[in-house]
Amino acid sequence: MSKPTVKKLKNGIPVILSPQKGAKSMTVFVFCRVGSRYETREINGISHFIEHLMFKGTQRRPNTQVLSRELDKFGANFNAMTGKDYTGYYVKIDASHSDLAVDLLHDMLFHSKYDPKEINRERGVIIEEINMYEDNPQMHIEDLVEETLFPNSTLGWNIAGPKKVIQNVTRKQLIDYRDRYYIPSRLTVALAGKIPNNVMSLLDSTFGRVKQPRRSKDSDYKPFVAPKKLKKAMNIQEKATEQTQVGIAFHGFSVSHNDEPAAKLLSVILGGSMSSRLFIQVRERRGLCYSISSYHQSLEDTGMFGIYAGLDRKRLKEAVDTIMGEVRKIKKSGVTMEELKRAKDHLSGKTTLAFEDSSFQTAWYGKQWMFTGTFETPEARMRKLNRVTLKDIKRVANEIFRQETMVNAVIGPRINKGGLEKFFNLE
């Protein structure tokens, strides 16, 4: 696969172009390097709130209905997302309507009205979104894990924010925050699929006209420094459920860390597929769960290795013992050459399949460029993964899986904290 090209608009916004042979559609993805970790307690949730308000109408497209109808009539896919460290907006559309995708995204991001009535209406929508997550233990367990793994850091805060903030944040606070961070120096635009020849002129006449403030008022987050030992290792929520949800997490590696590829492979071998150790041992051989998985997520300055499972509450000890036993085995004995090869082939195949989708391509290249100022093709990524050895996996497992920095979160009925703490043992 050919390496994409990077161009710049007249105001400095980087544009990543990844043309795809044979494609008839294209994706425009706009990234802004801001997320919940940039917030303060008083405005926690504001990045996500702003994302919602971008879809509520502009001067030329006065409401949600008008805006969405323009895209719906061409069968376009469009969405947005807010993370800890970025916010993204994309449109995937028939390439013959590329001009609409570019114009609409620019219009949303820089000409949204922030109508007070829409703001107040959206408060209720976001509060219901928060309620949905809190009512769903499989979703909410991640919030409990993160607030325990990242104490005294904005990384541990909920992306949607507390309900009290959503109820009280002002229009002025929303607009001030948007104006502080939605500036050229924080934007990246990525396009993939059938890219029209005039795309740079389309982008220059829209995003290229956004002015960079002479004195930028934006501010960076405080970098996360992993503690040698966590004071609070367990987060419990009593809830009348049939299942008990369990989350186990450790600090991982940043996007640019040399051992990030090894951590990714480790997560696949442990619980990242239906043939992984945890899936076979916990679900297939013992019937203790329906869902179990592990993953490694990288951020700019740190990372997170997580294990999640919905377990039979009556056999919780057996299930946790089995999970911890598999973690201990990898620490002590590592993995086999066959497991490592399977994990590499798994990631290669998943990436090949995903890259047929132009929206995946834009996310792949856009996020890399936004956080590192460079990018790697899938082929380059696989070369890195293929260099990982059995010794690397064992070394990384022992570096990540440490008792003193392990956190656990549990949601379920009648939980005995004292008894539970004994289950989560890596020694």
Query: For position 105, which CATH number holds?
Result: 3.30.830.10
Place of tokens 């303060």: 40
Indicate whether 223 belongs to any domain: no
pLDDT at position 258 is 97
Q: What are the tens digits of pLDDT across the range 338-372?
A: 999 999 999 999 999 999 999 999 999 999 999 99
Q: Are residues 186 and 319 in the same domain?
A: no
Query: Are 205 and 241 in a shared domain?
Result: no
Nearest to 270, CA basis, from 315, 332, 326, 218 = 326
- Both 155 and 260 in one domain: the answer is no
Nearest to 374 by CA among 6, 2, 1: 6
Q: 8-62: per-residue pLDDT in tens?
A: 999 999 999 999 999 999 999 999 999 999 999 999 999 999 999 999 999 999 9
The H-or-E segment that residue 297 falls in is: strand 289-298
60: exposed, middle or buried (Cβ count in 10 Å: 0-12, 13-18, 19+): exposed
Residue 219 lies in a domain: no
Q: How far apart are CA 216 and CA 219, in angstroms?
A: 8
Total number of domains in the chain: 2
Same domain, yes or no: 190 and 96? yes
Comparing CA positions, the residue from 296, 317, 311, 315 lying closest to residue 411 is: 311
| Same domain? 286 vs 175 | no
Paired tokens of 382? 């696989």
Q: Are residues 249 and 363 in the same domain?
A: yes
Q: What does the pLDDT look like over 369-384, one tens digit per residue? A: 999 999 999 999 999 9
Q: Please state the rounded mean pLDDT for residues 229-251.
A: 94
48 and 190 fall within a common domain? yes
Give, to the nearest 10 degrees, the angle between helix 390-400 and helix 337-354.
Answer: 80
- Asked if the structure places residue 215 within a domain, the reply is no
Looking at the predicted structure, is the pLDDT value of residue 216 above 70? no
Full domain range(s) for residue 89 = 5-209
Structure tokens at 76: 């376009």
- Say if residue 190 is in the same domain as residue 269: no
What pTM does this model have?
A: 0.95
Alpha-carbon distance 244 to 312, whole Å? 6
> What CA–CA distance (Å, rounded) separates 368 from 240?
42
Please state, in angstroms and rounded to a whole number, the distance separating the CA atoms of residues 370 and 373: 6
227: in domain: no
- What pLDDT is stored for residue 344 in this prediction? 98
pLDDT at 417: 73
How confident is the model over 305-342, as pLDDT tens digits? 999 999 999 999 999 999 999 999 999 999 999 999 99
What pLDDT sits at residue 214?
Answer: 82
Say which residues have a Cβ less than 8 Å from residue 209's Cβ, sequence separation at least 6. 11
Q: Same domain, yes or no, for 111 and 15?
A: yes
Rounded to whole angstroms, how far apart are CA atoms 357 and 185? 28
- Mean per-residue pLDDT, 75-95: 98
Residue 103 lies in a domain: yes
* Structural domain contains residue 239: yes
Both 195 and 48 in one domain: the answer is: yes
Which run of H or of E encompasses 270? helix 260-271
pLDDT at 231 over 90: no
Place of tokens 């391509």: 361
- Report if residue 224 sits inside a domain: no
Are residue 137 and residue 201 in the same domain, yes or no? yes
pLDDT tens-digit map of 94-153: 999 999 999 999 999 999 999 999 999 999 999 999 999 999 999 999 999 999 999 989
Rounded mean pLDDT, 183-195: 97
Supply 67's token pair: 């805006």
Same domain, residue pair 332 and 417: yes
Structure tokens given for 250: 């450790």
**Separation between Cα atoms, residue 342 and residue 238, nearest integer Å:** 39
Residue environment code for 63-75, b if the CB has 16+ CB neighbours within 10 A, otherwise e:
eeeebeebbeeee
Residue 177 lies in a domain: yes
